[in-house]
Amino acid sequence: MNRVQRARFAEKVAKTVLGLMAVIVLVTAAAVFIYILSKGYRAISWEFLTTRPLKLGREGGIGPAIGGTVWLVSLTALFTLPIGILAGVYLSEYAPRNLLTRSIRLAITNMAGVPSIVYGLFGLAAFVMLANFKVSVLSGALTLTCMTLPVVITVTEEALRQVPQDLRHASLALGSTKWRTVRKVVLPASMPGIVTGSILGLARAAGETAPILFTAAVFMSPQLPRSPLDRVMALPYHIYAEVTSVPNWSEDLIWGTALVLVAGISIVSVAAGVWRSIQRRKIRW
């Protein structure tokens, strides 16, 4: 073999091996998807989605767990959206280029890397114990807020940066104050990116178990919480608790729970993505 042939051969081998890696990723993801779907679909019924669990979850439904997760995520959204969006506005519109701003950015990327169980510990110490919110939806939502904040801040900043500088200048030249410019011009133009990115972050929060383990979750609860200071069942915690502490857990029902969780997260994420691309088509600079 001469050099050219060798090079061509190496090209083929490399392409095959690297392609194989990509195929492994696709196949793994497809296998995960199909496995959850095929194992879980049998349990899905109106009763399963709405009624409460019986016999420690071996029978009955997961209504309170679905409701609990919705409660947790809604409350998290209520806290994290205003704070995260304002923080993103700060970084994109107000922050000076100095050491403090760099440290804030560093803090945000590091917050995203803090293990979820550490957030759980923090929530236990700060919200459950010190603030005395007890084990409750409120404590859990505050813990999840700390976790999703970096996501919301980052997507907001990125979306704001995409807005052309001309728009800001035009608004300021008309005599608007800085905040009016942000509120009337910059934020509306970047809403699709902010909303979609935030929804993706919140959808992830719905699947988190470790942060709510000692801050919000309860194994069995016949009904939904009546106030933010009640404990809740949650879908991810329900899966964990059943698998690890209930002998003879019902395979059908737990896979059904997993399917509901994954399908919920996926549907919301895909819908958010589609909505963003529709909105983006409307905005032309």
Residue 187 touching another protein (CB under 8 A): no
In the bound state with another protein, the residue whose beta carbon lies nearer, of 149 and 195, is 149
- What does 121-182 look like in DSSP terms, one character per residue? HHHIIIIIIIS---SSHHHHHHHHHHHHHHHHHHHHHHHHHHS-HHHHHHHHHTT--HHHHI
Closest CA to 48 of 63, 58, 33: 63
Contact in structure between 72 and 144 (CB atoms under 8 Å)? yes
Residue 28 touching another protein (CB under 8 A): yes
Closest CA to 194 of 151, 223, 165: 151
Enumerate residues 69-128 that contact another protein by CB under 8 A. 83-84, 86-87, 89-91, 93-95, 100, 103-104, 106-122, 124-126
Residue 258 touching another protein (CB under 8 A): yes
* Maximal C-alpha separation, the chain: 78
Enumerate residues 29-68 that contact another protein by CB under 8 A. 29-30, 32-33, 35-36, 39
In the bound state with another protein, the residue whose beta carbon lies nearer, of 67 and 226, is 67
Residue 188 touching another protein (CB under 8 A): no
Contact in structure between 257 and 238 (CB atoms under 8 Å)? yes
Residue 17 touching another protein (CB under 8 A): yes
In the bound state with another protein, the residue whose beta carbon lies nearer, of 72 and 146, is 146
Spacing of C-alpha 285 from chain mean position: 30
Q: Binding residues for another protein, how many (CB under 8 A)?
A: 91
In the bound state with another protein, the residue whose beta carbon lies nearer, of 75 and 135, is 135
Distance CA 135, CA 116 (A): 17
Enumerate residues 134-173 that contact another protein by CB under 8 A. 146, 149-150, 153
Residue 174 touching another protein (CB under 8 A): no
Residue 269 touching another protein (CB under 8 A): yes
Residue 279 touching another protein (CB under 8 A): no
Residue 229 touching another protein (CB under 8 A): no
Q: Which residue has the tokens 């205003």?
A: 82
